[in-house]
Structure 1
């Protein structure tokens, strides 16, 4: 996924093996199979592996550098405190020096004329000694500071040794060159992905919690049709009684809460199943079966069309309710809408939409009740249905629009915050975007691909 690629800077292992099943590809510990492919006869395997979501945070060098940074900061703060204390004590000792000189003069006077030693002289000596009494703890503190300085010297020697070792491991590359290599590897990964045909969902990993914000229900998304340089995030809180869309220039800005623009839609939305596709927001108009296309550049509604016979306003919602009757989604093949009708006995209908006119291009009637489904999503023309409202969440049903057939599956995923009110696939990022009980999360997906060859008809 674009957001995770930027964070993880994935490496690529592209392996071509003859007559080997895909199960022989075993990535190293801490890596996951990003995608795996072979031709129809099993003659070729293309396996792409990438770091798991939390790998970089557990990377040995990253952890070591983080610890070194903390140590340097601690030493720096301690030396600063020591410096301030030394300056204070130095001024105090300067004052004591003059008192010491006075005391030495008094001793010389007494030494020169012991016979004239009087009670007055004893009182003066006692006063001088009392003035010098506070110097004793200052001198003791100096001893402690000397030990600290010695300790700091040892720490700095150790620090220099470790940094030198890390530098030798990294080699002669500077940060900019390493970053450029990571971007090149990312480009190679995307090239490999572009050569793969549509894949079948095999695994879901995660989630990675990107942010915690908003109410229990909502939606957040990026545009799968945007260029690689554009990583805007759109945020829509709540499933009803709202029409404010917040835009962020990047995932980093989204996490930091730095908005770039706010859109005030002309109509309230229903549910949380909106999608941004090719610069436009597609959503279900509140208390209707009308689909609205709102263009972000022009800031206005450019198309709206009723979805014929579609139930709305909690007639055929997902199990959790929330006016989730009409679910708009996008995948590698285009724009889709999932809903239910009386004609199909409340079972799920899948329709392919024209993104410009919102006309239904083709529809598929399934035999699965929409009210019994959790959140669903499309990948490569196949609808995957989940029980995402449950703790033991999994994908348990899929329907292929290519073959007009269904199958029962068992692909678990972690419902970390116990209630999913939005789950959408993004083909560009190869990720699932989720709104999990007020937490915005991302899931990695692993797809099985079949490679196109020149012999394919």
Structure 2
């Protein structure tokens, strides 16, 4: 009787291992239990997306709190994922897994019960075995008393027969289940390989296509008039009360480097972060040491170079990050400097460099203009002045200013309660007074610049780095229009 007991014990052990594998390994294998699959130090959920030809359309775009570009899409009426044949295949496989798991649980309970019964009858079977040996070895005929004892023992063992029959049936079912599990494993591995190629290569290509369509859509949005500014989105709190931070306003969207310049005068240290996420965490950065110190916070990064005002001068410096060298520097003739004509907050903010959809600009003032804001469009390579406008707005009454689509927008204060109060249109050399609310959350703005690539405002607000989305009134150009 030792052999049947070992067989049943082996079955129990095998069933326990297979059940555990079915309940834990299979869901992770197909990615249906929420498990993330890590590749290259990142965690990603497996998600099936339809192809761009299946009807997804870009509706709008904006910035999320992390500074990433997000878009809203209009999806087809029917859920595309339900039409993916692999999605149906995975559902069917999971149903099979659940059915097999339930069957094995029943077998497990039943086999455990039968094993207990066999163990209880093991002593009876040993007694019967000994009596049969005595009878077979004895030369004497079996007397009625001995025969009766054997009959009683046999009667006690009769209930074991249906248990053994059931055991034979269960053994056949276990063989079938093992074959089914083996088939499922092969099929799931094949799907996993297919999904791996689809989700990390195909999906990447589809994301790139979607990004191209998004940028193509944004390029069709012609320059428009500023009609609103969103609530502030705080990216990070770091540095002193005054400073500037920015991304390149001209490079491709794949370049998400962030530059950080703490302080408003005599600074030379520029930190370059690999991405806005790294900037938020304060990690993965390199340091640039400028050959000349800066003045103010009106710096801008444009096409791989930093443009800034050299300390105690009206000289503009173009510093190239890759070569770590000054490419050109030029004096902005007659421009005030060294706190002669700053914004209302002071801080050597005499010369404010900025960019928009039309290129590079300098905002400053001169004695000849009686302290009113002057706008000059600059040639980025040589820093020569291409054209100049006198706005008539006193610079010391302005909190900050920024350019959008050739229009200079001016805030009336750098403190709480500020609003966008004045707009000067360089295309028509005209101006108007505006009343656009602007939520100054931390009550002291020392830098405010527009990024035409992302269409957001970058702000340094009392030691906080903040973003604002803007709302422009657009004229959408179709492919048939010029």
2:372 corresponds in structure 1 to 347
1:267 corresponds in structure 2 to 292
| Structure 2 unmatched runs, 5+ | 1-60, 75-197
Aligned equivalents of 2:417, 2:448: Cα separation in 1: 16
Aligned equivalents of 2:430, 2:317: Cα separation in 1: 30
Task: Verify: 1:242 aligned to 2:302, yes or no.
Answer: no
1:18 corresponds in structure 2 to none
1:11 corresponds in structure 2 to 71
Residue pairs, 1:134-145, within 5 angstroms: none
Residue pairs, 1:151-300, within 5 angstroms: 184-300=209-325
**Residues 412 and 182 from structure 1, CA distance in 2 versus in 1: closer, same or farther, beyond 3 angstroms?**
farther
Aligned equivalents of 1:188, 1:452: Cα separation in 2: 15
SS at the partner of 2:230?
A: strand
Q: Residue 376 of structure 1: which of 401, 426, 444 is its match? A: 401
Residue pairs, 1:17-416, within 5 angstroms: 184-416=209-441
Aligned equivalents of 1:265, 1:423: Cα separation in 2: 22
Q: CA-atom RMSD, angstroms?
A: 2.5
SS at the partner of 1:435?
A: strand
Aligned equivalents of 2:480, 2:252: Cα separation in 1: 31
Q: Which of 1 and 2 has greater Rg?
A: 2
Number of residues of Structure 1 aligned to a counterpart in Structure 2 = 300
SS at the partner of 1:297?
A: coil
Aligned equivalents of 1:430, 1:187: Cα separation in 2: 17
Residue pairs, 1:423-434, within 5 angstroms: 423-434=448-459
Q: Deviations over 1:84-137 (max 9, x none)?
A: xxxxxxxxxxxxxxxxxxxxxxxxxxxxxxxxxxxxxxxxxxxxxxxxxxxxxx
More RCO (CA 8 Å, sep 6+): 1
How much has 1:452 moved relative to structure 2? 3.3
1:430 touches 1:445 (CA, 8 Å); kept in 2? yes
**Residues 249 and 450 from structure 1, CA distance in 2 versus in 1: closer, same or farther, beyond 3 angstroms?**
same
Aligned equivalents of 2:69, 2:210: Cα separation in 1: 8
1:450 corresponds in structure 2 to 475
SS at the partner of 2:72?
A: coil
2:63 touches 2:70 (CA, 8 Å); kept in 1? no
Aligned equivalents of 1:312, 1:324: Cα separation in 2: 8
How much has 1:235 moved relative to structure 2? 0.4
1:353 touches 1:359 (CA, 8 Å); kept in 2? yes
How much has 1:347 moved relative to structure 2? 0.5
Aligned equivalents of 1:8, 1:252: Cα separation in 2: 9
Aligned equivalents of 2:292, 2:450: Cα separation in 1: 25
2:418 touches 2:440 (CA, 8 Å); kept in 1? yes
How much has 1:282 moved relative to structure 2? 0.3
Aligned equivalents of 2:358, 2:65: Cα separation in 1: 23
**Residues 310 and 343 from structure 1, CA distance in 2 versus in 1: closer, same or farther, beyond 3 angstroms?**
same
Aligned equivalents of 1:251, 1:8: Cα separation in 2: 8
1:219 touches 1:434 (CA, 8 Å); kept in 2? yes
2:82 corresponds in structure 1 to none
**Residues 310 and 324 from structure 1, CA distance in 2 versus in 1: closer, same or farther, beyond 3 angstroms?**
same
Q: Deviations over 1:309-355 (max 9, x none)?
A: 00001110000000000000000000000000111111010000000
Aligned equivalents of 2:334, 2:67: Cα separation in 1: 44
How much has 1:259 moved relative to structure 2? 3.8
SS at the partner of 2:317?
A: strand
1:196 touches 1:451 (CA, 8 Å); kept in 2? yes
Aligned equivalents of 1:228, 1:344: Cα separation in 2: 39
**Residues 7 and 378 from structure 1, CA distance in 2 versus in 1: closer, same or farther, beyond 3 angstroms?**
closer
1:388 touches 1:419 (CA, 8 Å); kept in 2? no
| Structure 1 unmatched runs, 5+ | 15-172
Aligned equivalents of 1:379, 1:255: Cα separation in 2: 26
SS at the partner of 2:241?
A: coil
Aligned equivalents of 2:354, 2:366: Cα separation in 1: 18
1:219 touches 1:273 (CA, 8 Å); kept in 2? yes
1:9 touches 1:186 (CA, 8 Å); kept in 2? no
How much has 1:260 moved relative to structure 2? 2.6
SS at the partner of 1:298?
A: coil
Name the TM-score, length of structure 2 as normaliser.
0.59
How much has 1:199 moved relative to structure 2? 1.1
